[in-house]
Structure 1
Amino acid sequence: MPVSIPENITVHLGPPSSNAANITVPFADYVKNVASSEIYPTWPEAAIRANIYAQMSYVLNRIFTEWYRSQGYDFDITNSTRYDQSFVPGRDIFENISTIVDDMIGSYLTRGDAVEPLFAQYCNGTTVTCPGGLSQWGTVPLAEQGLSAEEIVRSFYGDDINFSADAPLSPSLGESFPGITLRLGENSEDVRTIQNRLNRISTNYPNIPKIYPADGVFDADTEAAVRAFQRQFNLTPDGLVGRATWYRIAFVYNNVKRLSELNSEGLTLEEISRQYPELLSEGMSGVSVRLLQYFLAIAGEYYDALPRWSAAQLDGIFGPQTRSAVEAYQRMLGLPVTGAVDRATWNALVSTYRSVLLVQPEQEWLGLFVGLPEVFLVTGMRGDAVRRAQELISIIARGYPEVPAVTVDGIFGSATESAVSVIQTLLGLPATGAVGPLTWEGMARLAADVEASSRSAEGQYPGYVLSEEE
C-alpha cells in the first residue's frame, strides 16, 4: 500500500507565509473538524460521505506530496480556505459526522491508474464554483435522488475515480529526505528516486540532461543532471543532493506532474515502488538479500551481540538464519524487532558497515575482501580506491581473457566500467559497471585465484621449454 494515514497532522493557523501558530492534532480529529466546519449534519448521509471522501483525499494529497514541507514549511496544511480546507481549533464536532469519519478513516480517492490521493478540489457551489470539482451543496439534491456517496463523487470527478479504503495508520510517516547527502558514488533507491524525478523534470526543462539508466547509481551523468537542476533553480551547483536540493526537486517534480491539481499526470505503482526501498523478508532471494547478508556478516565480526557468518553462508537466500541475524541487529539498535528489513533497518545497517570499515580496516576477516571502500565506485570518480579496483582488474585479466585490461591511472572511465561489467557477469551479478561491496568481494576472490594459480611450488614445472640437451 503506497499511502498511509498519519497518526497526527500539523495545521498552520493562517495563510502559508503568515506568522501564525501551528497546531498538531490526530488525523481523524482534523477530518472531523473540517467536515463539521464545512458541511451540515442535517444533510443526507450519502452527501456527507461524498464530501468526506473529497476532504480526506485532499489532505492526504497535501501530505503525500509533501506540498508545504517541500517548500521549507514546518506544517502539513493550512486552515486558510484560500489555500486549503476550513479548520477551526476547539470547535464542537457533530456526533453523526464523527461517527461517519470513524467509519471512513483510511479512505481516499484516486484517478485511473494513478496511486496518489486525488487532489479533490471542491467548493460550496453557491458563493464559489469550481469547474471540475465537487459542489458541496450540489451533493444534497443528488443524495435526495437516491444516489450513493460513490455515485455522487463520480458525478463530479468522472467515471475513472477509484475508492481506496483501509489505508494503514502509521505512527509517524517521517520525511522523504533520506537523512544523508547523496553524492557521487552512492547507490540506493533514494538515488533512483532523484534520477527518475530529474528525468521527468527535464522534459519541461530541457537544459537538464537525461540520466540513463536510472539504476540507483549516483554516477557522473547523475551529478551533471543535479548540477544543471541546481543552476536552473538558483541553488549552489555543487552536484550534491542535500536537504535543500532534495526538497526543491520534490517540489518541482510535484508541479510538473501536477500532483496537486485535479488534472494530475498521476504516479504509477511502478514509480511509487521505486521511490521507497523494497522490504526484504524471509522467503526472498537474490542479489539484494546477498548484500544484506554481507552487511550483517561485516557487522557480526565487530559486535558480540550479532552472529558470526562464514563466506559460504552468504547464499542470497533469506532464511531463518538471516531473519535471526536481522532480529539481533534490530534488537541491538533499539529498532522494531520485525525480522524484516525496511528502510530504517537498511539505512542503519549501511551506516554500521561503513563505521566498521573505518574502525577496523585491517581486521583479518575483512582482509579476505581487500579492504572494501566506504562508497560505491562509478564512472567519473578518481582516486586511490579507483586505482585499487583497476589493479584487481589487471590481475583478473591475466587469468580471464574475456576481461579487458585497463590502465591503472585512478580514473574510472568507460574502459574500467566495461571491464567491471564483464567481471560482474562472470560473478553472476547484475552488470551495472559500478563497484559495490559484492563486486569488491568477487573481484578480490577472482584476483586471489589468479595469483594463486600463477605461483609455482618447489619442483613444479618452471614455465620454460626444456631442450633435449638439458
Structure 2
Amino acid sequence: MHIKKLKNKNKVIHALQEINIPPSIPVISIPTNITVHLGAPGDDAENVTVPFIDYIKNVSSSELYPTWPDNSLIANIIAITSVTLNRVYTEWYRSRGYNFDITNDTRYDQAYVHNRGIFDSISLITDRIFNYYIARTGQTFPIYARFCDGRISVCDGLQQWGTVELADAGYIPEEILKYYYGENIEIITNAPQTDVPSTYPGEPLSLGDSSLNVLKMQGYLERIRRNYPAISAISPIDGFFGETTEAAVKTFQNVFQLPQTGVIDEGTWYRIIRTYTAVTKLAELSTEGLLFNELYGITSGQFLEGDVRPGVDLLQFALNVLSAFYNTIPAVPITSVYDYQTRDAVLQYQKTMDLAQTGIANEETINSIYRTIMGILEAIPPEEVYIPILQWPGIIYSLGYESPGVYVIQEMLSYISLIIPAIPYIEPNGIYDENTQSAVTVFQSLNGLEPTGTVDERTWNLIVSVYRQQRYSGVATLPTL
C-alpha cells in the first residue's frame, strides 16, 4: 500500500477492503470428524470418532429408504446434516461436561448404527451434498432441523414420508424444506471442511489476550446479558480481553455460582456456551443464530488470532520484511493463518511503534505496517526482493486501485520483465497506474489470457507461478494452464 500518497480516510478504507471477509464465505465449517456416543447421554457406552461424511451416510441409510425419489433424499440428507452441525456448533453435549458431539439415541438425536452397510444411492447423493445445510435467511448458523417419520410419529418439523409425497408432486429439495421449515430459510452450499475451532481452546482466556475466541465469548456474554442484566456490559467488543471483559466474566461467574476469577477457564467457557445456547434457543427451529455474522462484521478490516481471511499471508510477508530491519520484530512463517506467532509479531510491532499493544491487526496497525514497509521496499531493486507464494486476496485489481496487493503485483511483474523484455518494466509504487495496466495486458497476451489489463484470480495465480519459476529456477517460459 503506497500510504505516502493516501490523502484521506476514504482511500485507506478502500485499500483495507482487500482484507475484508467476502460476505458469501460461510463462517460455519464442516468438521472433518465427529464423535458419536453409542447410547443415551448418561449411559456408560462407547464413543466412536468417525469421518463426518461417513456419519451422515450412516444416519441417512438408517433413517431413509434408498428407493425414495432423489429430491426427497436430498431434502432429508440436508436436514440430517443441519441437525448434526447444530449439535456440533452449540456444543450441546460438550457444554454439559460430555466428551462427545452427538448420541445415537433417537430420543435425543439421530439413528446411527455403527459399522452398518451404506446404500449406494444415498452414498452418491451424500458425496455431492454433505457440506450443504439449512440456515435462516441472511444467517449462516445451522438450524436444528427437527424431523420425524411422519407415520409412527408426528412432529413440528420435517416429516420424512411426507417428503416422498412432495417429491412425487414435483417439489424440488428447497421447496420441500421450505414447506416444513418456512420460507425464511436458505440452503448454504459448499461450506468448507476443516477442523472445527469451536471447542475450548486448551488454555484459559484472561486479561490482555486477543483472539477470535475472545471475540466469541464477548459476543456470547453480551447476548446473555439481555436475559441476565446483572452481568456487566463489555465495551468495546473487539476481540481484546480488556478490563470490561474481565468484569463481565466475573459477574457471569457470580450469577452462575462459579469461582469469580475473571478468567475464562474450561468450566466457565462451557457454561457461557450452554447459557448462550439456552437464551437464543439455538437448538430449536426458532434459532436466533445471528451472532456469527454479527461478530465477523465487527472485525471487518482487521485480523485476530485464529483468522484465515484473505490477506493474512500478505500481512505475514510485511512482518517478515520488517523483521529484517527491526530486531524487536520476529519473523513468522507464511501460513495464511493468523496464528500465535503472527499475533506475537504484531504485538512486538505495536510495542516498537508505540501503538496500543493488543495483538490485533486493526486499521491503525495495518496502515502503520504498510507505511513502514513501503519506505523500505521502494529503495530495493526488484531483483533483490523475494515475494513468497501469496494467495489471491479476492480483489480484481484495475486502473486506479491503490493497495499493498498492487505493490506485490508490480514487484513480480518487474522481475519477470527482466527475463521477458516484452513485458514493460514497472517502478513499484503500490498504485495500479497505466504502466501497470500495460504490463498486465502484455503478460496476459503472452499467455493466451484475455488481455483485460485487470488482475483477476487467474491472472494473479499465473503471475505468481511465472515469478516463482523465474525467481528460483531461472525458467523464462510461461507455464501451460
Question: Which TM-score band (shorter chain)?
Answer: 0.5 to 0.7
Instruction: Check conservation: 2:203, 2:265, Cα contact below 8 A.
Output: yes
* Residue 162 of structure 1: aligned partner: 186
Q: Which residue of 2 aligns with 1:203?
A: 226
In the TM superposition, residue 263 of structure 1 has moved relative to its aligned partner by 0.5
Alignment of 1:455-470 (within 5 A): none
Distance in 2 (CA, whole Å) between partners of 1:198 and 1:350 is: 24
Q: For the residues of structure 2 that align with 1:123 and 1:21, how far apart are their CA atoms? A: 26
Unaligned runs of 5+ in 1: 301-307, 315-324, 331-336, 358-364, 378-427, 431-436, 439-470
Cα gap change, 1:129 to 1:280, in 2 (>3 Å): closer
Aligned with 1:84 (options 109, 121, 124): 109
Q: What is the percent sequence identity of the aligned residues? A: 41
Contact preservation (8 Å) 1:5, 1:167: yes
Tell whether the 8 Å contact from 2:238 to 2:298 is kept in structure 1 after alignment.
Answer: no
Q: Aligned pair count?
A: 334
CA contact (8 A) 2:36 2:103 kept: yes
Checking the alignment, whether the CA contact within 8 Å between 1:181 and 1:241 is kept in structure 2 is yes
Q: What SS does the corresponding residue of 2:58 show, helix, strand or coil?
A: helix
The answer to whether the Cα contact below 8 Å between 1:177 and 1:243 also exists between their aligned partners in 2 is yes
Change beyond 3 A, Cα 1:141–1:225: same
Map of 2:172 onto structure 1:
148
For 1:109, the equivalent position in structure 2 comes to 134
Q: Is the 8 A contact 2:219 2:237 kept in 1?
A: yes
Give yes or no for the alignment of 1:348 onto 2:372.
no
Is the CA contact 1:191–1:217 (under 8 Å) kept in the aligned structure 2? yes
1:309 aligns with 2:333: no
After superposition, the Cα gap between the structure-2 partners of 1:210 and 1:91, relative to the gap in structure 1 and judged at 3 Å, is same
Partner residue of 2:206? 183
* Structure 1 residue 137: Cα displacement: 1.1
Structure 2 vs 1, CA of residues 143 and 77 (structure 1 numbering), >3 Å: closer, same or farther? same
- For residue 31 of structure 1, the aligned residue among 56, 67, 70 is 56
Determine the C-alpha separation between the residues in 1 that align with 2:120 and 2:189: 22
Q: Look up the match of 1:57.
A: 82
Separation in 2, partners of 1:25, 1:349: 33
Q: Which residue of 1 aligns with 2:144?
A: 119
CA contact (8 A) 2:215 2:295 kept: no
Q: By how many angstroms is 1:87 displaced? A: 0.2
**1:352–1:152 distance in 2 versus 1, CA, 3 Å:** same
Q: 1:198 is paired with a residue of what secondary structure?
A: helix
- Within the candidate set 4, 7, 10, 2:35 is matched to 10
CA RMSD of aligned residues (A): 3.5
Conserved? CA contact 1:9–1:27, under 8 Å: yes
Would the aligned equivalents of 1:295 and 1:350 in 2 still touch at CA under 8 Å? no
Write out per-residue CA displacement over residues 171-210 of structure 1, whole angstroms, 9 at most, x where no aligned residue: x224443333222233444333222211110100111112
- Residues 445-465 of structure 1, C-alpha deviations (whole Å, 9 max, x = no match): xxxxxxxxxxxxxxxxxxxxx
Q: What is the rounded CA distance, in whole Å, between the counterparts of 1:245 and 1:255 in structure 2? A: 15
CA distance in 2, matches of 1:229, 1:295: 38
Deviation at 1:245, TM superposition (A): 1.1
Report what 1:44 is aligned to.
69
Structure 2: distance between partners of 1:130 and 1:36: 21
> Which blocks of at least 5 consecutive residues in structure 2 are unaligned?
1-25, 370-481
Which of 224, 236, 243 is matched with 1:213 structurally? Answer: 236
The Cα shift of 1:101 comes to 0.9
**Structure 2 contact 319–332 (Cα < 8 Å) conserved:** no
SS of corresponding position for 1:73: coil
Give the distance between the partners of 1:63 and 1:367, measured in 2 at CA.
39
- The corresponding residue for 1:449 is none
**Deviation, structure 1 residue 280:** 6.0
Alignment of structure 1 residues 64-83 onto 2, 5 Å: 64-83=89-108
Q: State the match for 2:196 in structure 1.
A: 173
Indicate the larger mover: 272-281 or 61-70: 272-281
Q: Which amino acid aligns with 1:137?
A: W
Contact preservation (8 Å) 1:296, 1:349: no
Distance 2:268 2:239 in 1: 17
The separation in 2 between residues aligned to 1:270 and 1:147, in whole angstroms, is 34
1:235 equivalent among 234, 258, 265? 258
Shift of 1:8: 1.5
| Per-residue Cα deviation, 1:132-174 (whole angstroms, up to 9, x for no partner) | x00011111111112112211111111111011111222x224
Q: What is the one-letter code of the residue matched to 2:341?
A: A
Residue 47 (structure 2) aligns with: 22
Q: What's the secondary structure of 1:329's corresponding residue? A: coil
Q: Which amino acid aligns with 1:246?
A: W
Q: 1:130 to 1:202 in 2, by over 3 A?
A: same
Residues 245 and 352 of structure 1: CA distance in aligned 2, closer, same or farther (over 3 Å):
farther
For 2:54 and 2:313, the matched residues in 1 are separated by 40
Which TM-score applies when normalising by structure 1? 0.63
CA distance in 1, matches of 2:198, 2:183: 33
Which of these residues, 309, 327, 332, is aligned with residue 329 of structure 1? Answer: 332
Instruction: Verify the 8 A CA contact 2:332 2:341 in the aligned structure 1.
Output: no
**C-alpha separation between the residues in 1 aligned to 2:309 and 2:61?**
43
Deviations 1:253-299 (A, max 9, x none): 122111111001122523256587444655998xxx5xx6897689x
State whether residues 140 and 188 of structure 2, in contact with CA within 8 Å, keep that contact through their aligned partners in structure 1.
Answer: no
Q: Report if the CA contact (8 A) 1:193-1:274 is conserved.
A: no
Change (3 A) 1:147 1:237: same
- Relative to structure 1, the CA distance from residue 265 to residue 246 in structure 2 (aligned partners, 3 Å threshold; closer, same or farther) is same
